A and B are shown apart, each in its own frame.
Chain A
Amino acid sequence: MEKVFGRPNSLRNVATHYCPGCGHGIAHRLICEVVDELNIRERVIAVAPVGCAVIAYDYWDFDCSEAAHGRALAVATAIKRVHPETVVFTYQGDGDLAAIGTNETIHAANRGENLSVVFINNAIYGMTGGQMAPTTLLGQKTATTPSGRQAGSAGFPLKISEMLASLAGVYSVERASLHAPQEIVRAKKAIKQAFINQMENKGFSLVEVLSPCPTYWGMSPKEALDWIKDALIKEFPLGKLK
C-alpha cells in the first residue's frame, strides 16, 4: 500500500493547543500543504494574529512574525515592501481582522498591497472566552450577548469581505468553509490561488474561511460543522466575491 495522505513537511510534528474540533488546525494544515506544493518554504513569511492562533508559529515550520492585535496587515506591508521577493501572508481571526484591525485591513486592501490574507471567520472571539465578534449572527448567544445578538444594540453581522471586494485596490476575494471534506478541498484551492496571485504580482488577495468554534458555540464538534452549513453560510454565502 502507498501513502496517499499524511502530514505536510512544513507542519511541525507536534500536538496543537486548540480545543477538540477547532477549525484552526485544519486551516493551518491547508496553508502548509500549499506552501509545500508551491515549494516556497524558504520564501514564505507568515504574520500571525492575536487570537487563538497567536502561537501559529509554533506549528508552522517556516518564517513567521507576530503582530500586535489587528495590525498583521501593517506588519505584512512592511515585510513585503522591504523583501519583495518573499511571499507574505497574514492569518487573522474576525476579531483581529474585522474589529480591532479594521483600519489596517481596509487601508492595506485599498492600497492594493501585494499580500495574501487568510481570514478565519468563526463568528466569535475565541481566545478571550467567547465574546461577540462583528461577524456574530443575529440571535447568536455569546458571553457578551447572553440572550442573542440584537441588531438594535449590537448592529448587524459585518460582511467585511464584501466591503473589501468593492475596493479598486483589491485583486481577489473568495469565501470558503471547513464544514465538510469537499469544502476543505475548495478552501485549499482558494488559499493556493491567493498565494499564486501574489507570486504573479497581482495584488491583494483574501480568502475568508468559515471555521468551527465548538467550545464557544456551545456545541459538539459535529454540531458545529452542521451549524456552519445551516446558519453561518446563510449569512456568509460561499464563493468568489471578486
Chain B
Amino acid sequence: MGRIAVDKDKCKGCLLCASVCPKEAIITDSGLNKMGIKAVKPKEGADCSGCAMCALICPECCITVYK
C-alpha cells in the first residue's frame, strides 16, 4: 500500500504522472489551482502501490510518495 500527496499549486496539469501510473490512481481535480490550472489528485480508494513512477516523471517535482 502507498499514498501520494500532490502540491497542488505547483502542478501544471501535464498529466504525465497519470499516464505512467500502473494503477490508474491519479485523476484531474475539479477546481483550479493558484495558476488557474486543473491540478491532479490521487483517486480516492485507488490501489496505490507507492511505486513512485508518477513522482519520477513529474517535471514540477510536486508529488510526494509514502509507502
Residues of A within 8 A of B (CB): 1-8, 11, 15-16, 18-26, 29, 178, 180-181, 184-185, 214, 221-222, 225
Contacts and interface: CB of A to CB of B under 8 A. Distances in A.
B16 A5 contact: no
Interface of B: 1-3, 9-10, 12-16, 19-20, 35, 37, 50, 52-53, 55-61, 63-67
A185 B35 CA distance: 29
Give the top 9 A-B pairs by smallest Cβ distance, nearest first: A25-B59, A21-B14, A20-B14, A20-B12, A5-B65, A1-B66, A221-B14, A181-B56, A181-B53
B59 A22 contact: yes
A5 B59 contact: no
30 contacts: A1-B1, A1-B2, A1-B66, A1-B67, A2-B66, A3-B65, A4-B2, A4-B66, A5-B52, A6-B64, A7-B61, A7-B64, A8-B61, A11-B61, A15-B35, A18-B59, A20-B13, A21-B12, A21-B59, A22-B59, A25-B58, A26-B58, A26-B59, A178-B57, A180-B20, A181-B20, A181-B57, A214-B14, A221-B14, A221-B16
A2 B57 CA distance: 20
Contacts of B10: 15
B49 to A, nearest CB: 11
A5 B52 CA distance: 7
B3 A29 contact: no
Max chain A CB contacts within 10 Å: which of B1, B15, B61? B61
A15 B11 CA distance: 8
Contact of A222 (B9, B15, B52, B53): B15
Nearest to A18: B59
A180 B57 CA distance: 7
Nearest to B67: A4
Nearest to B63: A5
Nearest to B34: A15
A56 to B, nearest CB: 14
Contacts of A26: 57-59
Nearest to B56: A181
B64 A5 contact: yes
Given A181-B52, A181-B56, A225-B16, 4 more contacts: A1-B1, A16-B59, A21-B14, A180-B57
Contacts of A25: 58-61
B63 A23 contact: no
Contact of B65 (A4, A29, A221, A222): A4
